[in-house]
């Protein structure tokens, strides 16, 4: 189940509407409707307000699991891919999953990812 599918399932379960969600979060009804129609995912900055409104954790929206970050085994990671979240148990699996996702990208998007990684690496270097 994707993040947007979880959101709409929770809205239905709690007898809430997209309009209620829009009013609470300040997100337009059109944007919320497009998540459902296109099965797209809300941006990360919106997930906090959505989780508050629905009474669940952001982690639940990402993974569908009630497990909290503190309950995860050491070395675990959560990978997000097209609105789906994957929990990996160790660094080797994390690397394998990252490579699998990277290889599926277009050359243009591979370049974008590499640029982001370089910027993050540079930022970390400057912080040391």
Domain extent listing, the chain: 3-63, 69-127
pTM value is 0.54
- Greatest Cα pair distance, the chain, in angstroms, is 50
User: CB–CB of 85/63 below 8 Å?
Assistant: yes
Task: Give the closest residue to 4 by CA, choosing from 86, 46, 52.
Answer: 46
Q: Which tens digits make up the pLDDT trace of 72-102?
A: 555 555 555 545 555 555 556 667 777 888 8
Q: Which tens digits make up the pLDDT trace of 32-69?
A: 999 888 888 888 788 889 998 998 888 888 888 765 55
Contacts of residue 59, defined as CB under 8 A and 6 or more positions apart, other chains included, come to 65, 67, 68, 69, 78
CA distance 121 to 117: 6
111 versus 126: which is more confidently predicted? Answer: 111
Specify the CATH superfamily of domain 3-63: lambda repressor-like DNA-binding domains (1.10.260.40)
């Amino acid at each position: 189940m994707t993040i947007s599918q979880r959101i709409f399932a929770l809205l239905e379960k709690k007898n809430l509407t997209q309009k209620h969600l829009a009013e609470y979060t300040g997100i337009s009804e059109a944007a919320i409707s497009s998540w459902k129609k296109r099965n797209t995912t809300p941006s990360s900055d919106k997930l906090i307000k959505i989780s508050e409104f629905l009474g669940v954790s952001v982690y639940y929206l990402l993974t569908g699991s009630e497990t909290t970050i503190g309950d995860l085994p050491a070395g675990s990671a959560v990978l997000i891919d097209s609105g789906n979240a994957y929990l990996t148990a160790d660094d080797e699996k994390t690397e394998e999953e990252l490579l699998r996702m990277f290889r599926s990208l277009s050359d243009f998007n591979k370049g974008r990812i590499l640029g982001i990684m370089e910027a993050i690496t540079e930022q970390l270097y400057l912080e040391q």
